Amino acid sequence: MEILEFENVSVVYPGNVEALKKVSLTIKEGEFVVIVGLSGAGKSTLLRTVNRLVEPTEGIIRIGGRDITKLNKKELKKMRAQIGMIFQNFNLVNRSRVVRNVLAGRLSYVPTWRTMLGMFPLKDKEIALSALERVRIGEKANVRADHLSGGQQQRVGIARALAQQPQIILADEPVASLDPPTSHAVMKDLRRINKEDNITTLVNLHFIDLAQEYGERIIGLRDGELVFDGPASEVDEGVFEEIYGRSITDDDLRGGTQVAPREEG
Amino acid sequence: MKINWQLFRRIVNLAVILGVIIWSMEGMNINLERIARGIPSIGNIIKLMFPPDMDFFSRSLSAMMESIQIAVIGTTIAAILAFPISFLSAAKIGVPFSVVFLAKQILNAIRTFPELILGIFFVASYGPGPLAGVMAIGINSIGMLGKLNSEIVETIDRGPIEALEASGSNRAEVFLYAIFPQVLPQFLATALYRFELNLRAATVLGLVGAGGIGVILLQSLQFRRWPVVGMSLLIIIVVVTIIDYTSAYIRKRIT
């Protein structure tokens, strides 16, 4: 079943910068899609139109068959509650404890008077803690976020998204700030959660080896245009060179071993 | 001939600065001879202050406590009043430009009033006593606290804000969970720093009748009771030093 549809979606930023040009695509429930392209190709814009952190200038985006471009503020919040997002720089509150960062994923499900008093229902606390368990850092719940390593911080980011119990997870360059072994560990986590919970997952990556290894389906963007869409098995270096518009260099590879179940303290 | 403009500008700048200094000295009729002549008197007065009048120890100390209380309450009032303005005057967090502009102008206006002028003003309106001192410090500190705090707000990491907006949180939740925890320790640190400054102000505000140890200083200075002045100054120096170190230590710990 289609969960996400793009129909001729364009985004024009102020100054007449065309970030997305008439992109149309359909994503099925439970798919693990990797979006590749050079920086500036429109990957981040594409991802952010899904939860309307970026407003599409033109076109229609449907989630579960419903056009989300016309939602009012309240409907938009409700829709966003069902979409988890993971960021390159983790976007955690460094001074807050891990569990508080994860509970932030429950904010939109808990009445505001409760969140203002910090009185989360037991059920929501349990959801947050079990989200941490899912990414194997349950024991870090009461540690300040900035006392964790980069890989652990990104797993807190994943736990925060998981705490939303989302239908869709958007991951914007989730491993760009991490070293190779940690990158593989985080990609494995994303893939595992996608399989176990059947959460449709869209991941932006610029490392082609990671895209090939973890992607089921690969979407290629170049200068805001969709230039490739197909299963990862059909993708070889030639396809990437086509997407990137140049030959592939070492910088396009994350490299590193894949074996890193517990890469750091 | 080619004119060396850079050299020319330097010469002009230097001439202007020298001109202003000479103008100031001329106006006050200051010269080294007069400065030298006063030095023995300074020494004499310091000698007169010793030994400090121990009979005034407890009175001076309790007046110093009042100065501390004035500074504590004044700073607290200022911190509370400055809190909303800190956000309203911060650009880049979604407050309309016109509001930011207005709030910044209010803060600037408050800062132009010196504490002593406010002190005189509040002594006139509330009568002499510590309440006038509290009001003077409370109002005066809003300007600086608001300005420093809004700069803190402007430099926060926007990442958590984006993350919470992406998850459907409302504005109040974004504030409480993404903005507030980032700024709180630094707000406390600026308030503590301002408290250190306010403690000094509170010792002086008594000179215009606004309570605290300044009142004792004023009276003993008027009657040239130097040993009492010595006692008061000694207490001010010791207490201010202790509080400065403590406050600086706390500030270091929380940020």
Is some CB atom of chain A closer than 8 A to the CB atom of B94?
no
Question: Pairing mode, if any, of strands A168-172 and A83-86?
Answer: parallel
Dump pLDDT digits (tens) for A158-169: 999 999 999 999
Q: What is the mean pLDDT of residues B26-47?
A: 83
Give the pLDDT of residue B151. Answer: 93
Give B151 to chain A, closest Cα distance, Å: 19
Dump pLDDT digits (tens) for A113-123: 999 999 999 99
Give the pLDDT of residue B1. Answer: 64
Report the C-alpha gap between A158 and B64 in whole angstroms.
55
Dump pLDDT digits (tens) for B90-137: 887 778 889 999 999 999 998 888 888 999 999 999 988 889 999 999
Cα distances from A95 to residues A66, A84, A239, B199, in angstroms, run 38, 22, 44, 30
Q: Which residue in chain A has the smallest CA separation from B180?
A: A93
Is some CB atom of chain A closer than 8 A to the CB atom of B253?
no
Dump pLDDT digits (tens) for A9-41: 999 999 889 999 999 999 999 999 999 999 889
Contact A104 B169 (CB under 8 A): yes
Instruction: Choose from A44, A51, A107, A165 for mutation: most chain B CBs within 10 A.
Output: A107
Is some CB atom of chain A closer than 8 A to the CB atom of B178?
yes
Report the C-alpha gap between A199 and A193 in whole angstroms.
7
Contact B182 A93 (CB under 8 A): yes
| Domains within chain A, CATH numbers bracketed | 29-45+73-252 (3.40.50.300)
A53 vs B162, B170, B182: nearest CB: B162
Dump pLDDT digits (tens) for B43-55: 888 888 888 888 8
At what angle are helices B180-205 and B213-222 packed, to 10 degrees? 20
Instruction: Choose from B162, B167, B170, B171 for mutation: most chain A CBs within 10 A.
Output: B167
Cα of first residue to Cα of last residue in chain B, in angstroms, is 58
Question: Pairing mode, if any, of strands A200-205 and A217-222?
Answer: unpaired
8 Å CB contact between A260 and A184: yes
State the DSSP code for B58.
Answer: H
Residue B195 is encoded by which pair of tokens?
């408290």
Looking at the domain that runs over B59-254, which CATH code has it been given?
A: 1.10.3720.10
Give the pLDDT of residue B2. Answer: 72
Q: What is the pTM of this model?
A: 0.82
Give the pLDDT of residue B52. Answer: 82
Give the pLDDT of residue B33. Answer: 83
Q: So what's the ipTM on this one?
A: 0.90
Give the pLDDT of residue A257. Answer: 56
Tell me how many residue pairs between chain A and chain B have CB atoms under 8 A apart.
85
Q: Which residue has the higher pLDDT, A253 or B190?
A: B190
List the one residue out of A192, A193, A191, A215 whose CA is nearest residue A204: A215
